[in-house]
Structure 1
Amino acid sequence: MKKWKVGFIGAGGIARIAHMPGWKKLENVEVIAVSDIREEVAGAVAKEFGIPHIFTDYRKMLEIKEIDIIDICAPNAVHAPAAIASFEAGKHVICEKPLAITPGEVEDMIAASKKAGKMLMCAQNHRFRPEARILKKIIEKGECGEIYYARAYALRRRLLPPAPTFIKKELSGGGPCLDIGVHILDLVYWLMGNPKVKSVSGVALTKLAKREDIHGDWGEWDRKAYNVEDFAAGYIKFANGASMTLECSFLLNMKESEIFAGQLFGTEAGISLPWGVPPEIYTEKNRTFMIKQLVGLPQIPTHHEEIRAFVEALDKKKPSPVPPEQSLEVIKILDGIYRSSRSGKEVQFK
């Protein structure tokens, strides 16, 4: 079996806490290089995980011919240029969500991937939750009938990440839409069967984040530098006639500290998929309403599982476990919400 050599672009929290341990668990993988513009951060991660090469310029790292795979954990604005440069250097790419900031960037990444003959995958780890995999099979078997409507929520009361990479548009591309909304949107959209997007209408607002009298449970942030939304909502229509609503926030005046959940409604059954609580299926048999609960499911580190699936696909020459064409539709939706909010009109897609 081939021994895959991996290089990291970005060595922040998600790389150190979630991705690095996932690669280290695999016997046929070796992380040999890490790049971060903060040399001290790259050095600390290299020391912790025994990585021999550190860089502050990922382009220099890409010159290492032995590297087969690049894992991108850099700020959102870096995703597209770093991925395209990686493909030009002949590397496979797994990239943290969102795959890119705009649909055009994703299209460029897909084109570069195909030209290089290399795999591209967005690290949408929620698809790899055991309960999500089971629900996907249930839906594909037709047990829910036609899924015609869904809701997706990623709402936080006072959980605004204060780092510049989350609050400055030039780094993040957006606020909760591109940070947490993309997670629940991708999960629910995938469960719906990845229908083509027909139209999007929505709002992206900054109502609380600029106020000095609003606190954050994760610490203070630079109010003057904050230039992304703190709340967004969208209504999405799909080409197959189905529709979905999406709501996401960093700051919202609500009871719960956080709500991360999806609901799907079909002609034969409905599904509730909350975070941290067993999913439920709702249906009617013999004129009697029934509630089924999925219990006893294993708890696995989903970031580790997505990395394992990525390597397995390379080993077995299978397609990307998260096809980038599906990620393109997700980014179309989020970009549509931003465009609709600016124009006040519904955004149509061909």
Structure 2
Amino acid sequence: MSKHHALIGAAGYIAPRHLKAISETGGTLSAAFDINDSVGIMDSYFPDTRFFTEFELFESFVHAERSKGRAIDFASICTPNYLHKHHIGFSLRAGMQAICEKPLVLTPVELDDLESLQQETGGKVNSILQLRLHPAIEALRNRIAKGDPDKTYEVDLGYFTSRGSWYHASWKGREDKSGGIATNIGVHFYDMLGYVFGAPKENIVHHRAQDAAAGYLEFDKARVRWVLSINRNHLPAHTPDGQSTHRSITVEGEEIEFSGGFTDLHTKSYQSILQGNGYDLEAVRPSIELVDHIRTAPIEPHRGEQHPDFVKVLAS
């Protein structure tokens, strides 16, 4: 039976992946909301969707559909990070399951609040953690699981993705709204590392700024040197000419290639959710606790090992 969906944040960057996933899993998009009206992409998938730019009208429509026996089953949330908790809360109270982009929330306390709300409403929160479904990551996880149980792997994560001044003027550049660079960009990778290498054991911060962050992590089965930056001047010297990004994850010196293969991962996520196997609040807790610590931990550049490309960040 076709499921009915609502989409909150329909004009956002990630919304088209949700539209595609809803369509490819046989769903119907009953309603969509965004304060911006650049949502013509919906015509390619669901031209008859009711669209609202005022949340109060969207909320009234959702409740009216429920009262008429046409309850909406799922709410997909693609809004700025600081609004996730509010929109998840609305979804659960309106009788919908929530499907939310990462980071699910900004703090462990917000996770606790959502856990209480789940119990109160009987609803469910599902987080999109699509990197876990990537074939290269699944293969790596299987390889680690079958390997030497006593081995600790050496991992380097370097993620340099240049962003213009718009980034700092937007909600993404405000720590109170995005959580900062480690939360907004890094949380994807921290979750993936925990998924592959087990629970985090140590979390040292070497650098924390608006445009870059770096540190050292230990998981059950890995030692990780990491650096993230959105500053073009931080691109490593070995970045090819004309390239504005440099993304690398190595395990024991071997590059893990997963730059491709993302086109259907949201659809795979939706398929799991529809089968009752979505990633729940406890699945995201380790990465939320990790980024929460990164935001507040003391800066200790001489503890743990530094990522080799961190030198360029400091020099700039």
Q: Which moved more, 1:63-72 or 1:114-123?
A: 114-123
| Pairing 1:246–2:233 present | no
- The amino acid of 2:211's aligned partner reads D
What do the CA deviations read for 1:183-202 (whole angstroms, capped 9, x no partner)? 22211211113x1x444221
- The amino acid of 1:330's aligned partner reads S
How big is the shift at 1:329? 0.7
Secondary structure at 1:98 match in 2: coil
Aligned residue among 161, 172, 175 for 1:166:
172
Aligned residue among 205, 221, 225 for 1:202:
205
Structure 2 Cα separation of the partners of residues 41 and 276 of structure 1:
28
Structure 2 Cα separation of the partners of residues 328 and 253 of structure 1:
31
How big is the shift at 1:249? 1.2
Secondary structure at 2:105 match in 1: coil
- The amino acid of 1:7's aligned partner reads A
Write 1 or 2 for the structure with the bigger share of strand.
Answer: 1
User: Which residue of structure 1 lines up, in the alignment, with residue 307 of structure 2?
Assistant: none
Structure 2 Cα separation of the partners of residues 264 and 147 of structure 1:
12
User: Which residue of structure 2 lines up, in the alignment, with residue 275 of structure 1?
Assistant: 258
| Pairing 1:18–2:17 present | yes
User: Which residue of structure 2 lines up, in the alignment, with residue 109 of structure 1?
Assistant: 114
Distance 1:299 1:16, change over 3 A: closer
Count of equivalent residues: 285
Structure 1 Cα separation of the partners of residues 201 and 120 of structure 2:
28
How big is the shift at 1:166? 1.6
| Pairing 1:75–2:80 present | yes
Aligned residue among 76, 87, 90 for 2:92:
87
Distance 1:88 1:139, change over 3 A: same
| Pairing 1:231–2:212 present | yes
Residue ranges of structure 2 left out of the alignment (5+ in a row): 304-316
Residue ranges of structure 1 left out of the alignment (5+ in a row): 207-228, 278-297, 314-318
How big is the shift at 1:150? 4.8
User: Which residue of structure 1 lines up, in the alignment, with residue 189 of structure 2?
Assistant: 184
Structure 2 Cα separation of the partners of residues 236 and 146 of structure 1:
18
Indicate if the aligned counterparts of 1:201 and 1:236 stay in contact, CA closer than 8 A. yes
Structure 2 Cα separation of the partners of residues 144 and 241 of structure 1:
10
Structure 2 Cα separation of the partners of residues 119 and 168 of structure 1:
29
- The amino acid of 1:274's aligned partner reads E
How big is the shift at 1:308? 2.1
Distance 1:51 1:105, change over 3 A: farther
% of aligned pairs identical?
Answer: 21
Secondary structure at 2:163 match in 1: coil
| Matching of residues 209-224 of structure 1 within 5 Å | none
How big is the shift at 1:147? 5.0
How large is the RMSD of aligned CA atoms in angstroms? 2.9
Aligned residue among 256, 263, 266 for 1:303:
266
Distance 1:75 1:138, change over 3 A: same
| Pairing 1:324–2:305 present | no
What do the CA deviations read for 1:263-317 (whole angstroms, capped 9, x no partner)? 445xxxx86423338xxxxxxxxxxxxxxxxxxxx7752222212222232xxxx
Structure 1 Cα separation of the partners of residues 160 and 300 of structure 2:
26
Indicate if the aligned counterparts of 1:32 and 1:53 stay in contact, CA closer than 8 A. yes
Structure 1 Cα separation of the partners of residues 126 and 158 of structure 2:
23
How big is the shift at 1:88? 1.8
Distance 1:161 1:180, change over 3 A: farther
Structure 1 Cα separation of the partners of residues 301 and 254 of structure 2:
32
Distance 1:135 1:35, change over 3 A: same
- The amino acid of 1:148's aligned partner reads T
User: Which residue of structure 1 lines up, in the alignment, with residue 309 of structure 2?
Assistant: none
Secondary structure at 1:71 match in 2: strand
Distance 1:76 1:178, change over 3 A: same
Aligned residue among 275, 290, 311 for 1:312:
275
Indicate if the aligned counterparts of 1:11 and 1:36 stay in contact, CA closer than 8 A. yes
Aligned residue among 157, 160, 164 for 1:153:
157
Write 1 or 2 for the structure with the bigger share of helix.
Answer: 2
Indicate if the aligned counterparts of 1:261 and 1:275 stay in contact, CA closer than 8 A. no
Aligned residue among 35, 38, 42 for 1:41:
38
Structure 1 Cα separation of the partners of residues 124 and 103 of structure 2:
17
Indicate if the aligned counterparts of 1:103 and 1:328 stay in contact, CA closer than 8 A. yes
